[in-house]
Amino acid sequence: MSLLSHGAAPRWTAVLLLWAALCCLFVPAVTVKHENFKTCDQSGFCKRNRAFADQVSAASSYTSPYAIVAPSVTFKKGQLEAIVLKTVKESGERVPLPLTITFLESGVARVTLDEEKRAKGQVELRHDSKARKERYNEAGQWALVGGLHPAEGAALVETTDAGYTKVVYGKGGSHQAIIRHSPFSIEFQRDGETQVRFNERGFMNMEHWRAKVEKPVEEKKEGEEEKKEEEKSEEPQGEDESTWWEETFGGNTDSKPRGPEAVALDISFPGYEHVFGIPEHATRLSLKTTRGGDDAYTEPYRLYNADVFEYEMDSPMTLYGAIPFMQAHRKGSTVGVFWLNAAETWIDVTKKKNTVNPLSLGLKSSTDTQTHWMSESGLLDVFVFLGPTPQDLTRQYGELTGFTAMPQSFAIAYHQCRWNYVTDEDVKDVDRRFDKFNIPYDVIWLDIEYTQEKKYFTWDPLTFVNPDKMQKQLDKRSRKLVAIIDPHIKNTDNYHVIDELKKKDLAVKNKDGNQYEGWCWPGSSMWIDCFNPAAIEWWKSLFKYDKFKGTAHNTFIWNDMNEPSVFNGPETTMPKDNLHHGNWEHRDVHNINGMTFHNATYQALTERKRGDARRPFVLTRAFYSGSQRSAAMWTGDNLAEWAHLEASLPMVLNQGISGFPFAGADVGGFFGNPSKELLTRWYQAGIYYPFFRGHAHIDTRRREPYIPGSPYTEIITQALRLRYQLLPAWYTAFHEASTTGAPIIRPNFYVHPEDEAGFAVDDQLYIGSTGLLAKPVTKEGADSVSIYIADSQPYYDYFDYTTYTGAGHHTVPAPLDKIPLLMQGGHIIPRRDRPRRSSGFMKYDPFTLVVVLDKDGNASGTLYLDDGETFDYQSGAFIHRRFDFDGARQILMSANLVADTPSKLALRYVKSMEKVRVEKIIIVGAPRAWKDKDEVIVMEEGQKESKRKKAVALEYHDKVGNKAAWAVVRRPGVGIGRGWRIDFGEKVEHEHHGHEH
């Protein structure tokens, strides 16, 4: 957000209303302010490392100056240690860099390189800085939660004399790392084939500590330029020192007390044409290259969490969050790297035709992807994943950084937000209107204007007179409130929060060690430093119901501006030489900062009231690896333009494969006023965002679903109802994500990893494991879409069962009132069909199962259910069923997926769901043989003998044109938490009584 768009705190007055209305009449064309953000050339270490890479690439002969000291190599219990020496060309100095390679039980390898002198504190800092001397080594404490156990089975195979060290690890010894000593490089192999290579191109660079030498300013002599050009073809020349000791950008000077300290490494993926990941960027799923050429970027992908005002499409520019996890994919294999570093990071991506004989190519692509990672400071700390499947990658990455938290069920329903609902009466009015128009919604949001002068934890007494009453009204319909709380604390008198922050000394400090003061929504502000455990404790205290008065059990929190956004700071954030707890410089921890804040809020919400443990809901804008454990994210301030709608799909898909799947974009677009068509299409797409929220800027016109009128309101309502109908499928997908790391919405390559033609497809998505394939309309005026089908299964239109078969593109009609959604044959999809006002009201609703037969007449699916609110599911209080339709036996069965003996809580939960039944079973692609059948036999476990088996009517609908035949069993009456079977066959197998399978 810019200062211009929202300078002074607006009050809800008639004048403002008028002003806002006038603003709406004219929405200027908007574009990002490039000059506010650095290019690689303007970021000293990026420029240096890129230039170094160029020199190395151009040099006729070049040897990387890093080498392992062979006798230093030790190997114990899955961990290799050694000293790498960097030889400084100019001085001949040898810089010791301790290397650790840990081979983890999961088959992942972790490579860590430190710098001995800094680690031992044998360096001097300039400007009397109090900053820590070490390279930042605590990123793992924030990002990692498990998966770190070294593999006892990893074995050292060869060493020393051969000039390399070989370690065999991974399942069945299928992986090996070949660590070459001089120059230092590593090849990671799976089944004898190299998948990932470190320092292949010699771009590795660890800027060692050195004292500043004051050099006399040299005058440029004639002919100097030419000399430089000549030198380029030889070895890389002396380093560019101009940004070693100080850097200025946009009027801010970074004092850089530790001098140059970048880490960089080239990582190659031989035979891999596609790389994905490293969010957050407004770009395609399959990452474009970054060093010029056709349809390529010229800037590297940047990861430096920032509040980028009116961000642009199709760009490697940084955005609000950073996940330095990249995966490379080809037919038959997915591998990846996780670059655990929280400092500003840039990543160049290039592709190269390889020289592999095409006949011996096998599954490999004839293209290699080469990447170059550059971070400003910190350790070199990289995890290497050798797959071989995309599922292995998301699971292993999730084991390290945590799986997405299981949200409350309301959190995956629809959220209604705008900047701002301006009074408590306004909130209540919006709430009533949703009811009046029969539109379901679960959550209404309050942006910053609810506070008194942007003082968080307060309510504006003139506009939010009775928050309790407001929340009671919401609660009546089982609805929730989300209120915003930002990390900047207004620096003013008579405000208990700033008083405590100052007194307890819990704010981020400036380079001189004084509490840092900057500018944000409230004007002069200070920032809570959540790296400090004491700050987290204090933060928790602020959310207690008796402290944050006016909040209730149905109030949840939105953490915004936590990059952190500082209006008068360099690149709209904090100076890099600011200091955090432990005297780490902001530069070291920048990308983690936002996560520490939303983590603290998450903890605070779990402890609001003793004995009342409900799952928190926190939305964050800034994020890092690990954020998935405690928050949902959204893609920030997009624009009400078709291009932004389109870009939201690859962005949200990318979040999913990068371990943070609870993601969405502002439906309708934040800035500007969408046309009614765009708004409608956005809702039709938004129902597929795992996090589904409509939001709008303060200067926009109101656009709640009931505003656009007929037919738009009805069409939007239908879209919302579709989301609500499929909530059981969504909840099951969330459960899968929270236990396996699988994305909630999935791109084509993830579901069909062997289908080369579909690797780059990023404008359509699968919902969890349901086989539901959606292709949202993102083009103005479209009345059809082209859906790409990767396999030979039949795909059925969700609404009318039109059948699409055959790999390739299919045209699916998509007039405005039609949502293109297909069901892949082979799945059983759980739904709840009764329209309700909110998801809370669906808790005990009956289920519909849609059995979508595959080409062999089989189908299966799962359903996960719990109380949707508490943590009891962690003690087994859930229902987890598997449904199978066996085409050969003509039997549909429900089996229990819970293996353990049920706990008390589990039994209590199952009992509470006893009356919840299946009310309808629809079989799509029903066999012709059922035409004359009018009954099926239903058998259920746990019923009295007399009730165990009964006949229920079957209704068969013949195929019409290309619309598949379908059948329906109404009111089979079987319990959703029970074992049962339904026999569709000709003969009734009387000897088989219902039992669990």
What are the structure tokens assigned to 371, written together? 């990447």
- Residue 308 as a binder of ligand NOJ (CB under 6 A): the answer is no
Q: How far is the CB of 836 from ligand NOJ (least distance, A)?
A: 28
Q: How far is the CB of 680 from ligand NOJ (least distance, A)?
A: 22
Residue 563 bears catalytic tag: yes
Q: Which of 111/561 has CB closer to ligand NOJ?
A: 561
Q: How many chain residues interact with ligand NOJ (CB under 6 A)?
A: 11
Q: Which of 297/464 has CB closer to ligand NOJ?
A: 464
Asked if residues 811 and 786 have their Cβ atoms less than 8 Å apart, the reply is: yes
Q: How far is the CB of 699 from ligand NOJ (least distance, A)?
A: 11
> What sign results for the dihedral spanned by CA atoms 690, 691, 697, 703?
positive
Residue nearest to ligand NOJ (CB): 419
> DSSP E strands: which ranges in 578-631?
579-580, 584-585, 618-620
Identified catalytic residue from 200, 529, 560, 588 = 560
- Residue 637 as a binder of ligand NOJ (CB under 6 A): the answer is yes
Reduce the DSSP state of residue 107 to 3 states and report it.
coil
From the number of C-beta atoms within 10 Å of its C-beta (0-12, 13-18, 19+), residue 637 rates as buried
Q: How far is the CB of 448 from ligand NOJ (least distance, A)?
A: 4
Identified catalytic residue from 563, 577, 641, 704 = 563
Task: Give every CB contact of residue 193 below 8 A, 6+ residues apart in sequence.
Answer: none
**Of all residues in the chain, what percent are helix, strand and coil, respectively (each to 5)?**
25, 30, 50
The CA-to-CA distance between both ends of the chain, in Å, stands at 56
Q: Which of 529/560 has CB closer to ligand NOJ?
A: 560
Task: Give every CB contact of residue 64 below 8 A, 6+ residues apart in sequence.
Answer: 183, 184, 185, 199, 202, 204
Q: How far is the CB of 465 from ligand NOJ (least distance, A)?
A: 22
- Residue 636 as a binder of ligand NOJ (CB under 6 A): the answer is yes
> What is d(CA 453, CA 9) in angstroms, rounded to the nearest whole number?
6
Q: How far is the CB of 655 from ligand NOJ (least distance, A)?
A: 16
**C-alpha distances out from residue 136 to 115, 126, 141, Å:** 11, 18, 11
- Residue 444 as a binder of ligand NOJ (CB under 6 A): the answer is no
> What is d(CA 48, CA 88) in angstroms, rounded to the nearest whole number?
16
List binders of ligand NOJ among 401-430 (CB under 6 A). Answer: 419
Q: Which of 666/866 has CB closer to ligand NOJ?
A: 666
| Residue at 884: amino acid letter | D
- Residue 460 as a binder of ligand NOJ (CB under 6 A): the answer is no
Q: Which of 284/695 has CB closer to ligand NOJ?
A: 695
Q: How far is the CB of 620 from ligand NOJ (least distance, A)?
A: 11
Task: Give every CB contact of residue 768 below 8 A, 6+ residues apart in sequence.
Answer: 729, 730, 732, 733, 734, 736, 737, 742, 744, 745, 746
Binding mask 114-153 for ligand NOJ (x = CB under 6 A): ----------------------------------------
Reduce the DSSP state of residue 934 to 3 states and report it.
coil
Asked if residues 773 and 804 have their Cβ atoms less than 8 Å apart, the reply is: no
By CB under 6 A, name the one of 131, 267, 322, 448 that touches ligand NOJ: 448
Q: Which of 564/636 has CB closer to ligand NOJ?
A: 636
Number of H helices, E strands in the chain: 18, 53
> What is d(CA 39, CA 374) in angstroms, rounded to the nearest whole number?
14
Residue 517 bears catalytic tag: no
- Residue 1 as a binder of ligand NOJ (CB under 6 A): the answer is yes
By CB under 6 A, name the one of 266, 344, 424, 447 that touches ligand NOJ: 447
Q: How far is the CB of 484 from ligand NOJ (least distance, A)?
A: 6
Binding mask 874-913 for ligand NOJ (x = CB under 6 A): ----------------------------------------
What are the structure tokens assigned to 68, written together? 């392992």
Q: How far is the CB of 427 from ligand NOJ (least distance, A)?
A: 16
- Residue 560 as a binder of ligand NOJ (CB under 6 A): the answer is yes
Q: Which of 621/810 has CB closer to ligand NOJ?
A: 621
- Residue 631 as a binder of ligand NOJ (CB under 6 A): the answer is no
Q: Which of 392/447 has CB closer to ligand NOJ?
A: 447
Q: How far is the CB of 559 from ligand NOJ (least distance, A)?
A: 11
**C-alpha distances out from residue 152 to 105, 178, 188, 353, Å:** 8, 18, 19, 39
Q: Which of 368/486 has CB closer to ligand NOJ?
A: 486
**C-alpha distances out from residue 382 to 252, 336, 389, 426, Å:** 32, 10, 20, 51
**C-alpha distances out from residue 206 to 107, 209, 402, Å:** 27, 9, 29
> What is d(CA 207, CA 191) in angstroms, rounded to the nearest whole number?
35
- For the residues of 310-346, what is the DSSP string, one character each? TPPSS-----S----EEEEEETTEEEEEEE---S-EE
> What is d(CA 214, CA 710) in angstroms, rounded to the nearest whole number?
73
List binders of ligand NOJ among 663-682 (CB under 6 A). Answer: 670
Residue 756 bears catalytic tag: no
Rounded to a whole number of angstroms, the CA Rg of the chain reads 29
Q: How far is the CB of 469 from ligand NOJ (least distance, A)?
A: 24
Residue in 512, 572, 487 with CA at minimum distance from that of residue 5: 572
- Residue 983 as a binder of ligand NOJ (CB under 6 A): the answer is no
Binding mask 691-730 for ligand NOJ (x = CB under 6 A): ----x-----------------------------------
- Residue 571 as a binder of ligand NOJ (CB under 6 A): the answer is no
Q: H or E segment at 268?
A: strand 263-269
Q: Which of 559/838 has CB closer to ligand NOJ?
A: 559
Looking up tokens 């650095």, which residue turns up?
A: 38
Q: How far is the CB of 425 from ligand NOJ (least distance, A)?
A: 21
Q: CB 332: neighbour CB atoms within 10 A?
A: 14
- Residue 621 as a binder of ligand NOJ (CB under 6 A): the answer is yes
Q: Which of 271/664 has CB closer to ligand NOJ?
A: 664
Q: Which of 289/458 has CB closer to ligand NOJ?
A: 458
Catalytic residues, which ones? Answer: 560, 563, 637
Which residues here bind ligand NOJ, judged by CB under 6 A? 1, 419, 447-448, 484, 560, 621, 636-637, 670, 695
